[in-house]
Amino acid sequence: MLLGMLMMNACNNNPNISEASMLESNASPLPDTTLGNERIIIKTAEIRLNVNKVEESIQHFQTLVNQLDGHVYHYEIDHEKQFADEVQHTLDSNILITNIHPTGMMKVKIPFAQSDRFISEVLAMDGDIDHFLLDENDVTEDIHEKKNLMLLDANGSTVNTKNKNASNTSIPSKETLIKRTTDFAKLNYQTKHLWFDIHFNGLSYQTKQMTLAPQSISTPFFIKAYKSLQDGWHGISFIVIALLKLWPLILMALIILFIVQIKGMKKGFSSIHTDVK
């Protein structure tokens, strides 16, 4: 009883304490704005494998994907052909040799809970690994932002954030609502799976194919004669053009020859005149 009287007396002497306690009891708790320790990521991976047979490796991966409730949403197989050689086999047939390099690609998605298991299974498979890449993109803030925008749109309005003291609201257009909903759904869907690109390089091999040898066709005489005339005329025109390009040298040679002849004629005349005397 004495303790109770002392507590009442203390409250009466300190009214601020009693008012503060009443405000704390009546105030609503602050919202928890933290995102928690769990982060949201988009996991992607890529690998290039050297295998013996591309088709068998793709079937093996398909079985593994089905066991983990995954899905192959794209795959392709290609046999790149390159000419190697052509050898005569008989008088009328040849053997065509071609190099073939098989390649393949798969794009798969695996449930996120099975992603680590799938990666371990892939790395343990037969085949030489040329390249392996694993990437984790943290989209926690991005996906929460898109989710909040979508929830605001669901309430029918979005707050105008240009002026914090203003109470104006702007109703987003239908296209904006669809775009925000689609962006959130797409990003959220990507976080639910492991996205894995798998490339295969198979062993190259050769194929031999029998083909008919091309028959020799003789050219008619008048065509050969016509081509010979053309070739002869081209040869003559080439010589004429070459001489025209050398005309300064030819002119100088003619001048020198003329001077030499004149000097020779003068010597001849002088010798004749000496004999006459």
> pLDDT digit string (tens) for 121-157?
998 887 889 999 999 999 999 988 888 887 776 665 5
Regarding whether 185 and 67 lie in a shared domain, the answer is no
Regarding whether 200 and 160 lie in a shared domain, the answer is no
> Is there a contact between 152 and 158 (Cβ–Cβ < 8 Å)?
yes
Regarding whether 170 and 99 lie in a shared domain, the answer is no
Regarding whether 116 and 65 lie in a shared domain, the answer is yes
Residues 28-63 have pLDDT tens digits of 343 333 334 578 999 999 999 999 999 999 999 999
Residues 62-89 have pLDDT tens digits of 999 999 999 999 989 999 999 888 888 8
257 in a structural domain: no
How many helices (H) and strands (E) the chain has is answered by 8, 8
Regarding whether 50 and 186 lie in a shared domain, the answer is no
User: 69, 102, 96: which is closest to 84 by C-alpha?
Assistant: 96
Burial class from Cβ neighbours inside 10 Å (0-12, 13-18, 19+) for residue 87 reads exposed
Q: Is the pTM of this model over 0.75?
A: no
Regarding whether 200 and 100 lie in a shared domain, the answer is yes
> In whole numbers, what is the pLDDT of the chain averaged over residues?
78
> Is there a contact between 90 and 144 (Cβ–Cβ < 8 Å)?
no
Regarding whether 49 and 114 lie in a shared domain, the answer is yes
The domain containing residue 209 runs over which residues?
41-135+196-214
234 in a structural domain: no
57 in a structural domain: yes
Show the tokens assigned to 273: 């005149």
Regarding whether 52 and 130 lie in a shared domain, the answer is yes
29 in a structural domain: no
Centre a 10 Å sphere on the Cβ of residue 105 and count the other Cβ atoms it contains: 16
Regarding whether 157 and 94 lie in a shared domain, the answer is no
What single DSSP character describes residue 161?
-
- Amino acid identity, residue 4? G
User: 168, 220, 196: which is closest to 108 by C-alpha?
Assistant: 196
Number of domains in the chain: 2
Regarding whether 146 and 112 lie in a shared domain, the answer is no
Centre a 10 Å sphere on the Cβ of residue 171 and count the other Cβ atoms it contains: 10
Regarding whether 179 and 65 lie in a shared domain, the answer is no
109 in a structural domain: yes
> Is there a contact between 111 and 193 (Cβ–Cβ < 8 Å)?
yes
Residue 268 pLDDT = 65
